[in-house]
Structure 1
Amino acid sequence: MDIIIRPARADELDAAGRITADAFIADGHTQPDGQYAPKLRDARARAVSAEVLVAVDAADDTLLGCVTFAPPGSPWGDIARDGEAEFRMLAVDPSARGRGTGEALVLACVERARALGVRQLVMSTQQSMTGAHRIYERLGFRRTPDRDWSPVPDVHLFTYALPL
């Protein structure tokens, strides 16, 4: 595989945050001046109490995408319950799409959750992220409509879970 998934280095966190915000904004999932954009940009804050994983090109170490993995007890888990891990803010640079980067990042979260011995990996996604939904479903995640939620008015999130 020409993609390597690993923990973000300290010198990559700003770039990881930019990729995350830029991808969400470019795809219309948040506004550049919206309240969520600063959170997306701040990978440094996430790295304090969660794990920021990056996808890099094996040939030249170019940053392709990133995801935030929230182990049990992390304040970055929005919907995780006892015995669950969560991932969020999955983003792939638009120029790196079509290479399997997003799927590789999700699989790294699955592996990390299994290594921690959690019973389930959960996540939230916007209804409009249909391409991501296909990846999740192909990997065995199932919709959990009873856990769907709205972090702010007019933003309704779908939830998925993968029993481990």
Structure 2
Amino acid sequence: MSILVRPAHPHELGRAGELTVEAYDADGYLVEDDPYLDRLRDAAARAAEAEVYVAMLPEAPDHPVGTVTYCVPPSPWTELAREDEGEIRMLGVAPSARRRGVGEALVSACIERSHELGHTAVVLSSLPVQVAAHRVYARLGFRRTPDLDWSPLPDVELIAFRLDL
């Protein structure tokens, strides 16, 4: 039995948004009144302009425990991707489902989607402290791409990763 990853159904978008917030909050990446909170929670808006995927464990096939947003230009959700690239955003796994391959399954689904679309690469941004995620990316073949590092806010530094396809 394996982890099921598929596009989120409309009735699951609320759960996907809450799951993203739950994951970021559990890791201490959010502060009180964080302006990013509303964007994380609004999976419905992301689904209207990008692709939102959910992951379920075999023992609970109707209960999402992970989510990711996959986007391609000209989606307003892209931050790094060029015309022929896909981008992974807002990956989140419920704390109770971690260390079971959910994050890796979600990233793999995005890689597969990029192959389907004929992209040349998949890119993503991450906080430097998200080292567990960095290990997943490295295991899947992503490499650090410092020339794409950027800062969306003065006190937020993001590091970039790229997988050439």
Please confirm whether the aligned pair reaches a TM-score higher than 0.5, indicating the same fold: yes
Instruction: Write the letter of the residue equivalent to 1:2.
Output: S
- For 2:32 and 2:116, locate their aligned partners in 1 and report how far apart those are by CA, in whole Å: 36
Instruction: Tell me how large the CA RMSD over aligned residues is.
Output: 1.0
- Deviation by residue 1:25-60 (Cα, 9 ceiling, x = unmatched): 110112242011110000000000100000012333
Q: In the alignment, what sits opposite 1:109?
A: 110
Residues 25-104 of structure 1 correspond to what in structure 2 (within 5 A)? 25-60=25-60, 61-104=62-105
Q: In the alignment, what sits opposite 1:21?
A: 21
Q: In the alignment, what sits opposite 2:127?
A: 126
8 Å contact kept, 1:71–1:113 = no
Count, aligned residues = 164
Partner-residue secondary structure (3-state), 2:29: coil
Unaligned runs of 5+ in 1: none
Partner-residue secondary structure (3-state), 1:117: coil
- For 1:31 and 1:7, locate their aligned partners in 2 and report how far apart those are by CA, in whole Å: 29
Q: TM-score, normalization: structure 2? A: 0.96
Unaligned runs of 5+ in 2: none
Partner-residue secondary structure (3-state), 1:66: strand
Instruction: Write the letter of the residue equivalent to 1:145.
Output: P
8 Å contact kept, 2:69–2:91 = yes
Partner-residue secondary structure (3-state), 1:63: coil
1:151 aligns with 2:147: no
Partner-residue secondary structure (3-state), 2:151: strand
Write out the 4+ residue segments of structure 1 that deviate beyond 2 Å after TM superposition.
Answer: 57-60
Percent identical among aligned pairs is 52
